[in-house]
């Protein structure tokens, strides 16, 4: 292991801890900056290797423990952002030599060999082998699976229970709205709103974390490539983004599971949130690919994302498009890097 990789990992871990500290400070600017917590770890992993990424994840947990004096914040950081970023960065850096066929490997002709004269094998320059990089579809599937595991762990850690948290959220809403002493009808409406909010958290939070990890990975790749440290070639994201077909079955089972009562519904909501967000991203990538050759591409993209910001149905349409794209694509080979 190179000392430079260790140093980069330690510095990246400290930077990630400082960004994550924004959640503790609770200021609006700091909370926004905390969303970029995985970026330093991704950059360390993509640019300096997987070991640097895992060192950065461990260093961030130690640093946040020193800043807060508690291990719970460190465990939260490690579970939700630091360790997932290190694992995903490792996957993005996986590659294996391609298996070229004899028809595609150029062979020197007899005339060229004669013209070159006698040369030893050592004098012949060796071409860099072509590499097959870990596909984007499996990286996205891994992000959804890792995010699901992380959110389930955090839910178990904090003891998330819809029946227990609902009344507390209702009281908090009453205090914020100044509804103390209001009529029973208004109080019932507040409790209904509180119950709805508590029930959608297991779906919304995992979906947001999935999108955050994907966005941070993309930004980190751009930074690492601009600095000349990223060995992975540029991916054609609109053309290669996707998910394995098994993700369709997982998402379908999760949707069905949300209709069951109790903890089963909560766990299923986490799966539905992460994989639903992943399919939405696949649908948006497909939309980018479909309008590539159109002259009004910029206007179409602006209209689409503006509609997403102000409305909800475009996201549903993107999710359906992502499901359709996944089901129409041929099954991937079982090989892995």
Q: 118 near 165, Cβ under 8 Å?
A: no
Q: 289 near 238, Cβ under 8 Å?
A: yes
Determine the pLDDT at residue 113: 40
Determine the pLDDT at residue 169: 66
Mean per-residue pLDDT, 112-117? 42
Q: Does the global pTM surpass 0.75?
A: yes
Q: 73 near 61, Cβ under 8 Å?
A: no
Residue 103 pLDDT exceeds 50: no
Determine the pLDDT at residue 121: 45
- Residue 210's Cα: distance from chain center in Å? 4
Mean per-residue pLDDT, 104-117? 44
pLDDT digits (tens, 9 = 90+) for 172-198: 666 666 555 555 556 677 777 777 777
The span from the CA of 295 to the CA of 301, in Å, is: 12
- Write phi, then psi, for 26 (nearest 5 degrees): 65, 15
Residue 135 pLDDT exceeds 70: yes
Distances (CA, A) of 301 to 212, 236, 305: 20, 18, 6
Determine the pLDDT at residue 82: 94
Mean per-residue pLDDT, 216-236? 93
The candidate with the shortest Cα–Cα distance to 30, out of 42, 41, 38, 21, is 21
pLDDT digits (tens, 9 = 90+) for 45-82: 999 999 999 999 999 999 998 887 788 888 989 999 99
Of the pLDDT bands very low, low, confident and very high (cuts 50, 70, 90), residue 130 is confident
Q: 52 near 2, Cβ under 8 Å?
A: no
Determine the pLDDT at residue 127: 54
Average pLDDT of the chain, as a whole number: 83
Determine the pLDDT at residue 33: 84
- Write phi, then psi, for 317 (nearest 5 degrees): -65, -40
- Write phi, then psi, for 232 (nearest 5 degrees): -70, 130
Of the pLDDT bands very low, low, confident and very high (cuts 50, 70, 90), residue 262 is confident
Q: 286 near 240, Cβ under 8 Å?
A: no
The candidate with the shortest Cα–Cα distance to 92, out of 47, 145, 151, 38, is 47
Determine the pLDDT at residue 120: 43
DSSP code, position 96: E
């Amino acid at each position: 292991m190179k000392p430079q990789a260790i140093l980069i990992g330690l510095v990246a871990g400290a930077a990630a801890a400082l960004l994550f500290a924004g959640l503790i400070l609770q200021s609006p600017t700091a909370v926004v900056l905390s969303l970029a917590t995985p970026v330093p770890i991704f950059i360390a992993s993509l640019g300096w290797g997987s070991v640097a990424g895992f060192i950065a994840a461990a260093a961030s947990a130690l640093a946040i423990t020193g800043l807060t004096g508690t291990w719970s914040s460190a465990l939260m950081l490690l579970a939700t952002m630091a360790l997932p970023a290190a694992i995903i960065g490792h996957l993005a850096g996986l590659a294996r030599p391609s298996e070229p066929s004899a028809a595609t490997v150029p062979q020197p002709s007899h005339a060229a060999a004669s013209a070159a004269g006698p040369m030893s094998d050592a004098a012949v320059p060796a071409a860099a082998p072509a590499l097959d990089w870990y596909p984007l579809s499996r990286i996205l599937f891994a992000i959804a699976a890792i995010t699901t595991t992380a959110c389930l762990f955090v839910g178990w850690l904090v003891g998330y229970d819809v029946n227990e948290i609902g009344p507390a959220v209702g009281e908090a809403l009453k205090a914020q709205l100044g509804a103390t002493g209001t009529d029973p009808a208004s109080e019932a409406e507040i409790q209904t709103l509180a119950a709805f909010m508590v029930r959608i958290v297991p779906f919304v939070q995992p979906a947001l974390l999935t999108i955050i990890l994907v966005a941070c990975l993309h930004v980190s790749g751009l930074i690492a490539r601009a600095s000349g440290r990223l060995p992975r070639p540029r991916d054609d994201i609109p053309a290669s983004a996707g998910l394995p077909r098994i993700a369709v079955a997982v998402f379908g089972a999760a949707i069905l599971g949300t209709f069951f009562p109790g903890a089963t519904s909560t766990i299923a909501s986490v799966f539905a949130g992460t994989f639903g967000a992943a399919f939405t991203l696949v649908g948006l990538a497909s939309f980018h690919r479909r309008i590539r050759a159109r002259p009004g591409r910029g206007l179409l993209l602006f209209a689409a994302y503006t509609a997403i910001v102000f409305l909800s149905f475009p996201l549903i349409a993107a999710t359906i498009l992502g499901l359709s794209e996944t089901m129409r694509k041929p099954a991937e080979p079982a090989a892995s890097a």
